Amino acid sequence: MPKKRSLTLVISLLVLLTFSCGLLYGCKSDKAKETSKTEGKKTADVIKLAGGDYGYLTPYAHYPRGPGIFKMRLIFDSLLERDEKGYINWLAEKYEIKENGKQYLFTIRDGVKWHDGEPLTAEDVKFSFEYAIKHPMVSSTISEKDIEKVEEVGDRQVMVTVKKPSAVMLSNLGTSRIIPKHIWEKVDNPKEFLDKEAVIGCGPYVLTDYSKEHGTYRLEAFKDYWGPSRGSK
């Protein structure tokens, strides 16, 4: 499968899974999704999800149960994703495993933007790992007992050295959500950080409205998203 098709498939499946979860929990099908009016396309420009509150869609404030994690992943990207054949490059345009599984070198994709227009940098990735070690995310699978150090080793490269090789370490590192340093570096209690800036990610969708009382979410397509077109074609 060509790389572009694989990337598009991952986005499509993620949107479909999130939308399906919303339906299962009671959202109305006639209001769940608005699509673009471009003839011949089925890209999801706006998604409306209802049926229950699953927390604020940050890696720290979504609920561990239900579809909250899938909704959060529409906003926050990771270094790697998976398709039916295995790992594919995402925010990392390539990765290398060195020193018999003790070092992981990620080359960060150029031209990626956060939802506020700031560029994604290797510094953001390094910060994200270190912050997740200090403050475990809801679905975090990395911890201080696993990681020896995280280093920037080039303009767009981050090296993670682990304490011992592990068969699941690539998955743990690659699927951890990346957060913007310029927003989170002054946040001491991430679980209580519920400002608008908390949901600034670099994923395909932007959270534009959330009602805890009604359990509804409105997500709009991020126009400067680096990746494949949203939805299925």
27-45 residue pLDDT tens: 333 434 444 444 444 456 8
Residue 113 has pLDDT above 80, yes or no: yes
Long-range CB contacts for residues 190-197, cutoff 8 Å, separation at least 24: 190/58, 190/59, 190/60, 190/61, 190/131, 190/135, 191/60, 191/61, 193/58, 193/60, 193/61, 194/56, 194/58, 194/61, 197/116
pLDDT of residue 35: 41
What is the structure's pLDDT at 46?
Answer: 80
Residue 192: both structure tokens together? 């209580």
Instruction: Check pLDDT > 80 for residue 197.
Output: yes
Per-residue pLDDT at 20: 46
Is pLDDT of 233 > 90? no
Taking 60 as the threshold, does the pLDDT of residue 51 lie above it? yes
Structural domains of the chain in order of their starting residue, each with its CATH number: 3-76+191-221 (no CATH), 80-184 (3.90.76.10)
3-state SS, residue 122: helix
Say which residue the tokens 């950080």 belong to.
193
Task: Tell me the C-alpha distance between 182 and 164, whole Å.
Answer: 31
Q: What's the confidence (pLDDT) of residue 50?
A: 62
- Section 202-230 average pLDDT: 94
Residue 187 clears pLDDT 90, i.e. is over it? yes
**Please, which residues bridge with residue 218 across strands?**
48, 209
Query: Which one has a higher pLDDT value, 123 or 39?
Result: 123
In this prediction, residue 45 carries a pLDDT of 84
Q: Which residues contact 186 (CB under 8 A, 6 or more apart)?
A: none
What are the residue ranges of helices labelled H in the chain? 3-24, 68-72, 122-134, 169-174, 181-184
What is the average pLDDT across 66-71?
91
pLDDT band with cut points at 50, 70 and 90 for residue 228: confident
Q: Residue 65's pLDDT is what?
A: 83
What is the mean pLDDT of the segment spanning 146-155? 96
Question: Tens digits of per-residue pLDDT, 72-109?
Answer: 999 999 999 999 999 999 999 999 999 999 999 999 99
Name the more confident of 63 and 15: 63
**Average confidence (pLDDT) over 12-31:** 44
Terminal-to-terminal C-alpha distance of the chain: 16
Of the pLDDT bands very low, low, confident and very high (cuts 50, 70, 90), residue 154 is confident
pLDDT given for residue 21 in this prediction:
47
Nearest to 112 by CA among 15, 23, 222, 16: 222
Structure tokens at 45: 């420009």
Cα atoms found within 13 Å of the Cα of residue 143, Cβ hemisphere only:
6
What number is the average pLDDT over the span 117-142? Answer: 97
pLDDT of 31 reads 39
Query: What pLDDT, on the 0 to 100 scale, is given for residue 48?
Result: 75
